[in-house]
Structure 1
């Protein structure tokens, strides 16, 4: 479902495009015009549609070549804007609030599947978004060239469509939930511990993980793989990870290294191990984080080194696997209370 609406923008919405911004920005607003200017380079224009005082909140982080943000708006708005063709900008709702919502004229955000959609903002025609009251939207803006380089050839047409025209898209709920948790968790951690922005390697790994989760949202179906070939593929995947134990691989980087599609890898792992490749990689990353706790100055440092930017989910998964919290491991190894920073 794509947007056919060409948007024109007022001068005030474009005048902020070249203003330098810090790596981490937190702002609140009581004016819709001011709120529209907070996303740099989006050429946005907001019109308030429902009555009452407006309250807005905006948190963003710019890390590596990616841009993450969460925007909360209290009133129903008409939002118009555009993104350049060399970027892929996606919106994932954290809460759709109250009342009707439409994106580029499509109202699929209704009924039981209300939460199982995301929107692509990119495209020459721009986007038009009629938001509900109480919207909380997480956004992710990534370089298209790096996404294409990480994707398999079969994913290139879908990526091209996402980047060329704004639209509303149905997604696998589990995959969408994983991206929601990753976006909101990363921003919460960076906001609480801004020093983690300075770890260039960890931020680059976060970008890789986010790109992998975006590729997982692309349409496609699992295709069975011959048992012998599936076993060989899983063995190759495990050997590749075993030979590079200090890198927190993602499904996308594993597919790239093995020269197979995401769906082929998924089908092979399900047939041979009963696990998704993401679940296998999560256990490998948890083992890496456990090793990192021996030298790390904090739990957060060990977690983010291995691609865990949502500390609550990291602690939950770690405890399920090792029967103790990462803070307990850190305290046992270092003595004294676990450092968070």
Structure 2
């Protein structure tokens, strides 16, 4: 995994810092240039979050062999990609090795994502997702602003976690989780451009999918199960997973699976003393590696902090 965070006072130095990209940046806005670049590359996926305080024109060639995406996080005005307006209700999607021209506004923040084409298509196939092969021809795809903001936050959180705790993201399993998080997020936005399939599953079939998902979580206590993991293990699409959970539990699968793990932690805390199993160890046993996030989720779910749960004597 490659992880890097830099600040710049020159637009060209900023452009050259992006690994694998052939491009140049021209500062066209007035003022002293200030920018940051945060990069993470792992498992066939590269993500960078860049920000700059003045207007810039970016031009060059996209990385070959990769599908490239752009998601605007903020800006003093809309972006412009290949002459098309880009705001938070739009997703840039281009094929590899294409020439590009991007105008970025002042006070901008942008997510750039490059995914190996084979990886993107294979993960889409695993999910039963009809990959829109001609979507990149449109270059700028319309998406719901709320969905774009949600996906943007999720990817930014993954990047920040890798920057803050790089040692926890070393190794093939950690790289795969990072790559899956990013790729699933992009596929979530592309799904708005795929026609709905008729879902003829009975309620009993959907209940079985939820039950088997629940059992999979219990069988892998130290490894949080992702939606992608469910798709692979149960051999069903992401949409089938989501529809099944919504129908049976009225919850999305991520929230449900997290709740299952939280319940196991609470059961363990109640059954043991602090001396036997400290809160941190109980959380780690069920895949909660960030104690701060765990405590917040626990309180939100049970109405008390884990330290306030009555322990065995």
TM-score (structure 2 length as normaliser): 0.78
SS across alignment from 2:22: coil
Provide Cα deviations, 1:37-81, integer angstroms capped at 9, x if missing partner: 111211112122322222111121233443232111111122123
Q: Give the count of matched residue pairs.
A: 299
Decide whether aligned partners of structure 1 residues 194 and 229 sit closer, same or farther in structure 2, where only a CA change above 3 A counts: closer
2:239 counterpart of 1:263: yes
Shift of 1:133: 0.7
The separation in 1 between residues aligned to 2:288 and 2:144, in whole angstroms, is 22
2:188 counterpart of 1:216: yes
1:150 corresponds to: 123
The separation in 2 between residues aligned to 1:63 and 1:138, in whole angstroms, is 16
Q: Contact 1:57 / 1:71 at 8 angstroms: preserved in 2?
A: yes
2:91 corresponds to: 118
2:178 counterpart of 1:206: yes
2:159 corresponds to: 187
1:63 corresponds to: 42
The separation in 2 between residues aligned to 1:274 and 1:65, in whole angstroms, is 34
Q: Contact 2:44 / 2:115 at 8 angstroms: preserved in 1?
A: yes
The separation in 2 between residues aligned to 1:65 and 1:123, in whole angstroms, is 14
2:134 counterpart of 1:170: no
Q: Which moved more, 1:136-145 or 1:40-49?
A: 136-145
Shift of 1:223: 4.9
1:321 corresponds to: 301
The separation in 2 between residues aligned to 1:314 and 1:176, in whole angstroms, is 25
Q: Which runs of 5+ in 1 are unaligned?
A: 1-21, 110-114, 333-341
Provide Cα deviations, 1:262-282, integer angstroms capped at 9, x if missing partner: 222222221111112222233
Q: Which runs of 5+ in 2 are unaligned?
A: 269-276
Considering only aligned residues, what root-mean-square deviation do their CA atoms show, in Å?
Answer: 3.7
SS across alignment from 2:131: helix
2:256 corresponds to: 280
- Show structure 1 runs of 4+ deviating over 6 A: 288-291, 295-299
The separation in 2 between residues aligned to 1:273 and 1:285, in whole angstroms, is 16
SS across alignment from 1:185: helix
Q: Contact 2:214 / 2:260 at 8 angstroms: preserved in 1?
A: no
